[in-house]
Amino acid sequence: MASHAGVVGSPGRDAYSSAKGAVVTLTRTLAREYAAKKIRVNAIAPAAVSSNRIEKMMEDPKIRTLVESTQVLGLIAPKEIAATALFLASEEARCMTGQILSVHAGAF
């Protein structure tokens, strides 16, 4: 699992953004290595996903304002990430490899 922070960076979260950026690069590298064997390698890069941890963090008005102002479509539901994973595993995505699917709720 990658992260939106690994694609665009996230101020104050240098280590996290760097680690997730490495997942992005690893995904693309493995996709090139395994494509000839018909093995697809893709990653999902979500922004903030609704969870107990995120909901607790959003009790802080500053964090709530930040998330609501950047993720204009709201928090991402876990089922939306699951649907993205199912798509990537499906036959409909058979020609996709090395892709990073950003599920970011409008957080460009």
Kindly state the helix (H) or strand (E) to which residue 21 belongs, with its residue range: helix 14-34
How many angstroms separate the CA atoms of 61 and 55, rounded?
12
The tokens describing 23, both together, are 């997942």
Instruction: Point out the residues that are catalytic.
Output: 16
Residues 6+ apart with CB under 8 A from 54: 48, 67, 75
